[in-house]
Amino acid sequence: WKKLYLAHHWPVTVCKMSANDCQDPPEYWTIHGLWPDKGEDCNRTWHFNVTEIKDLMSDMRQYWPDVLHSSLNRTHFWKHEWEKHGTCAATLEILNSQKKYFGKALELYQRVDLNSCLLKAGIKPSSSYYQMTTIKEALTSFYGVTPKIQCLPPEEGEKAQTIGQIEFCFTKELQLRNCTALKGELDPVQADLKLGTEELSVCSDTLPTYYPSQVQ
């Protein structure tokens, strides 16, 4: 693989996509995962062991919660992320254990600090719409790179898309880079966030964009 995606999702939108027991989703962007752009070297026999990340638990619960299953034993989401993505990322020495993988993802999340960037740009959850170009320009000018922004397309009768996920790309040296594919690079597997029949796709620049403050 060539690059890593640090995916943040907006809990309110994740809840909107799902009929699950979303109880009071966090009102800040949380981690969805840290994904290599291709998953071909994964070690399926390397099972998740929650005791390896016990030192990270309070941060994991706060910044990487299982938004959809707030009441269940919460480690299932992390297990999925480790087995699907972490075991591939582990070909890199700085990510080659569960503690390093989850710890580094938390570190990158703090470094990017998406929540405060959006607030500084005056972009906050609201019942009025935003232009996608406004959000993109704010992020690009703040970070100096182009992130990948995913939305829930308008439902029937809606005219606006709903922002759902913002992904930042990193090199193997963990430096920010553009998410657009460079020459000779394949565009990665689409995000695996499929809930029921609805799924996120890259946001349209022309549709008004909803950044919801609570689950409707």
Q: What is the pLDDT of residue 102?
A: 98
- Phi/psi of residue 51, nearest 5 degrees: -65, -25
Task: Please give the model's pTM, rounded to 2 decimal places.
Answer: 0.91
Q: Tell me the per-residue pLDDT of 49-65, one tens digit each, with 9 for 90 and over.
A: 999 999 999 999 999 99
Are 203 and 163 a contacting pair, CB within 8 Å? yes
Q: What is the pLDDT of residue 194?
A: 47
Domains of the chain from N-terminus onward = 4-211 (3.90.730.10)
Confidence of residue 70 (pLDDT cuts 50, 70, 90): low
Q: What is the pLDDT of residue 46?
A: 94
Question: What is the mean pLDDT of the segment spanning 75-89?
Answer: 94
Q: Tell me the per-residue pLDDT of 150-189, one tens digit each, with 9 for 90 and over.
A: 999 998 888 999 999 999 999 999 999 999 865 555 554 4
Give the number of other Cβ atoms within 10 Å of residue 1's Cβ.
16
Give the number of other Cβ atoms within 10 Å of residue 42's Cβ.
18
Residue 202 has pLDDT above 70, yes or no: yes
Q: What is the pLDDT of residue 214?
A: 81
Mention every residue, 6+ apart, whose C-beta is less than 8 A from residue 96.
90
Q: Tell me the per-residue pLDDT of 94-151, one tens digit each, with 9 for 90 and over.
A: 999 999 999 999 999 999 999 999 999 999 999 999 999 999 999 999 999 999 999 9
Question: Which positions are catalytic?
Answer: 32, 81, 85
Q: What is the pLDDT of residue 101?
A: 98
